[in-house]
Each structure stands twice: as C-alpha cells, then as structure tokens.
Amino acid sequence: MFELNDTHRMVQDMFRQYMMNEIEPIIDDIEDGKIPLFEPLRKMVETLGIRSQMDALDLSKPLRGDSPEKRRPDPDDPLQGMEVVAGNLLIKEMSRVSPGAAMSFGVCTGLAGGTILAKGTVEQKEAFGRPLMKLDKIGAWCLTEPGAGSDALGSMRTTALEDGDHYVLNGSKTFITNGPVADIFVVYAKLDRGGAGKEIQNFIVLREDAGLSTGTPFQKMGMKASQTSEVFFDDCRIPKDRLIGGETAAKSRDHVKEGLSNERSAIPTIALGIIERCFEIAVGYAKERVQFGRPLIEFQLIRNRLARMYVAMENVRNLFLRTMQQAIFGGQTKLDVCMGKLYCAEMATWVANEAIAILGGYGYMREYVVERLARDAKLLEIGAGTAEMQIITMGEELATTWKP
Ligand SMILES: Cc1cc2nc3c(=O)[nH]c(=O)nc-3n(C[C@H](O)[C@H](O)[C@H](O)COP(=O)(O)OP(=O)(O)OC[C@H]3O[C@@H](n4cnc5c(N)ncnc54)[C@H](O)[C@@H]3O)c2cc1C
C-alpha cells in the first residue's frame, strides 16, 4: 500500500502553510470577486517554485518518461513519483481552503495545459502548453454543451468545418470553468471535412480569435472562487495548426476519455482536502463548545457523528493514496476511476454537511468555513460526470469485463 513518506509530508506541510497564510485570509475577497483568483495563484506558482520547474521541463520528451507500467516501486528512492505526489498534495491542500480555487487551477494546468502537453505537437506544447502550466495564460476545457451534458460525445453539436488552411468552428459550450477569464480554450468539436464521418477532435482556440465570445459569469451555489460561463463560436476561424496533435492526431475520442478520466481521478484529492478540514474543524468545535454544562464531544450522538466522519475520511484517504499509486505505477481501471469519483464526491458532501450539523448555527455562518466547503463539495457529485454516470459505467464494467 502506497503511503506518504517523510519527504512527501514535508512538502505537504509547506503547501498547507502557504494556503493558510496566503490564500485563506483573502478567500472571501476572491469569492466576492474583489480579487481575481489568478493573481494570488500566479504568486503561488512563483513562490512554490512551480514556475521554474515548468521552465525547466523538456517538452520534446513524453511527459513522464517511461510508461507507468514499466516502473517498479523503489523503496530506496524517496523522490520516486514526486511530480505526481506533489501535484496531488498541492490540490489537496488548496481544497482545504478553497475547492473552487483548486478546480480553476486544475482545469487550467491539468485539463487544458495537460491535454496540450500530453497530445500536442512540440510547437503547440511550447506556444500554449507551457504558458498554461506557468499560469502566464489561463486555460479552459470545453466539452459540455447546452444539449450535451452526460451524453457529451453522442449529442455534441459544435462543428469544425475544414476550409482551406483553416477550420471554422460553430456552436456553443456551457458550464465552462474559467470561461470568463481564459486566454486559451481547448475545444472539442466534430471535424467536418465534407465527407460522411465526423470524428471528434480537439482544437486550440484563443481569446483573440474572431468569432469566439464568452457569456457573463454564472451565479452559482458554490465553487464561487472559480468563474464559469458559456463559450460561443460564431464562424470562428482558426489556423489548421491548432488541431491538437496535428493532422496525424490520434482520434480525439481518446483525448476526451483521457481528459475525463484525469478529471475524475482528481476528485478523491479534492474530496480529501474538504473532508480533512471539515473533520478537524468539527472535532475542535465539539471539544470547545459547552452545552448542558459539558463539551459537545462528551455527548454520544456527537461522537457517533464524528466516528462515522472519521471512517469516511480514512476510506477517502485510502482511495486518494491508491489513485496516486496507480498514476505512478499504472494499473488503474475504469472501475477504479468511477469508484473513486462516486464514493469520494458523496462522502465530501456528506462529511461537510455533518460538520455543519455539529457546529449548529455557527456552521451555517461564513466565518466558520464549513458552509463554503459544503457548497463547493456538492459540485464534485455533478462535474466530470454525475454520480449516475459513474454508476452506469461501473455497472457496464461489472457486467462485461470484471472477473472475481
Ligand atoms: C460549476 C461547474 C463547472 C463545470 N466545468 C466544466 C468545464 O470546465 N468543462 C466542461 O466541459 N464541463 C463543465 N461542467 C459541466 C459538467 O461536466 C456537467 O454539468 C455534467 O457532466 C452533467 O451534465 P448536465 O449538467 O448537462 O446534466 P444532464 O446530463 O442533463 O443530467 C441531468 C440529470 O440526469 C441524470 N441523467 C442523465 N442521463 C441519465 C441516464 N442515462 N440515466 C440516469 N440518469 C441520467 C444525471 O445524472 C443528472 O442527475 C461544469 C459544471 C458545473 C456545474
């Protein structure tokens, strides 16, 4: 079983301190739109050395050297898989303070930047991927459409028509994280070359491209640190070298599936951040708050709540560790991804609501943090494929490929 080692824990402590000192004090201003989220995030990537690491990245080579299947655990190497562990710890620690910030950061670097770094040509990686990883540019990842949510691929209507040395995009996307502020949009569209078949490909569209526009930010229940909007393509002409991976690109359905799988694999990480913080706040409060002459923690009903929250936290932690282990050494199945997404998202919502219950009226107040985490947690059940979609995929896998 993969465990955090001392080096990982040092990195975790450093990230936690950073988030508590630099992001927590301004999170209300970010949520209220007084401070643009990417300003403190840019400072963060500079201070934590992420920027210089991204500058040093050799983009002519595959992202992580050997395929994970070839790697074997090496107990003498405390830095093995460090890029995966550090990336996950950063998202987890950010989620303890603001899952919304973690989502916007993850979409920019993991989904938009990550897709370009994984599938783009060397020129695309350099021109668009690296600036996204360093937050010099803000990225969005555009799959969902007004009429294509859970059935994102089957019902997709956005098209890219081949026209000489350009593609012309028409259609619209909705619920796009970072939509209002993005510079670079990774867009999924049906490529129309005039023939019968229209395969889904993905394209890089820039804010300055004529024909691209974005809607006003949606007012949301939670994830308020992150801005969300529609994105419109109205005869939007882009040069042909913006097809991700170039003309010889692998069929993009794989890109989509990989993107979704990566997004889903991030849910245990965000969920664990939410759950850890809610649990710590709830225990701390239960020890301090006195009613009927005794601290709340002395009441059996409160202990029952805390015990069950603890079970959820440790189960989610195990799934978080297992997901990282599989990212480093391979072996992740569709069942693993959907199980982690489904369970961790539901537990994050449940634990955050239990924390509110333990804090009573104070839990409902902004100052006590858990209400923010509860509102943000709910999105984990919806984004990256709803809970129902995870169950449907798991059912299909269990019926067809699973063996005892
Ligand atoms: C804040 C936020 C940020 C987002 N960010 C992005 C982003 O950056 N990029 C992006 O592309 N998308 C993004 N999304 C979109 C998100 O992935 C979709 O909302 C999600 O996939 C669900 O699609 P839908 O909202 O159209 O719901 P629908 O597909 O219409 O589903 C509605 C309900 O019906 C259920 N349902 C649907 N089909 C079935 C079925 N066959 N059987 C049983 N139940 C079913 C669903 O589970 C759900 O409960 C974001 C969404 C939100 C809210």
Query: Taking the CA of residue 19 as centre, how many other CA atoms within 13 Å lie in the half-sphere pointing to its CB?
Result: 21
Q: CATH number of the domain at 6-137, please?
A: 1.10.540.10
Tokens at 219, concatenated? 């007012």
Residue 65 has pLDDT above 60, yes or no: no
Q: Give me the percent of the chain exceeding a pLDDT of 90.
A: 87
CA of residue 300 to ligand 1 center, whole Å: 39
Residue 45 has pLDDT above 90, yes or no: yes
The class (CATH top level) of 260-400 is: mainly alpha
Atom of ligand 1 nearest to the CA of 223: 1
Q: CATH number of the domain at 140-256, please?
A: 2.40.110.10
Is 258 designated active site? no
Cβ partners under 8 Å of residue 156, min gap 6: 145, 148, 188, 189, 190, 200
Nearest CA to ligand 1 atom 14: 175
Catalytic residue, from 263, 276, 346, 381: name it: 263
pTM of the predicted model, to two decimals? 0.96
Nearest CA to ligand 1 atom 38: 150
Closest among 178, 11, 16 to 96, alpha carbons compared: 16
Query: What is the rounded CA–CA span in Å between residue 57 and residue 122?
Result: 12
Give CA separation, 385 vs 46, 228, 269, in Å: 33, 17, 16
**91 C-beta neighbours (distance < 10 Å), count:** 23
Residue 336 has pLDDT above 90, yes or no: yes
Query: What is the rounded CA–CA span in Å between residue 269 and residue 348?
Result: 11
pLDDT tens column, 127-146:
999 999 999 999 999 999 99
β pairing state of 159-163 and 184-192:
parallel
Cβ partners under 8 Å of residue 304, min gap 6: none
pLDDT of residue 220: 98
Closest among 117, 67, 68, 107 to 255, alpha carbons compared: 117
Across the chain, what does the average pLDDT equal?
94
Does ligand 1 lie within 6 Å of residue 382's CB atom? yes
| 215-239 average pLDDT score | 98
CA of residue 156 to ligand 1 center, whole Å: 13
CA of residue 176 to ligand 1 center, whole Å: 12
CA of residue 377 to ligand 1 center, whole Å: 15
Does ligand 1 lie within 6 Å of residue 386's CB atom? yes
Does ligand 1 lie within 6 Å of residue 41's CB atom? no
Closest among 181, 231, 183 to 35, alpha carbons compared: 181
Provide CATH 1.10.540.10 ranges for the chain: 6-137
Largest CA distance in the chain: 80
The answer to whether 357 and 363 have CB atoms below 8 angstroms apart is yes
Query: What is the rounded CA–CA span in Å between residue 395 and residue 240?
Result: 40
CA of residue 384 to ligand 1 center, whole Å: 7
Query: What is the rounded CA–CA span in Å between residue 113 and residue 141?
Result: 9
Residue 77 has pLDDT above 90, yes or no: no
Nearest CA to ligand 1 atom 37: 150
Residue 402 has pLDDT above 90, yes or no: yes
Out of 60-69, 201-210, 228-237, least confident range: 60-69
Tokens at 46, concatenated? 């500079």
Does ligand 1 lie within 6 Å of residue 53's CB atom? no
Provide CATH 2.40.110.10 ranges for the chain: 140-256
Instruction: Using most ligand atoms within 8 A of CB, pick from 98, 111, 144, 255 the residue to mutate for ligand 1.
Output: 144
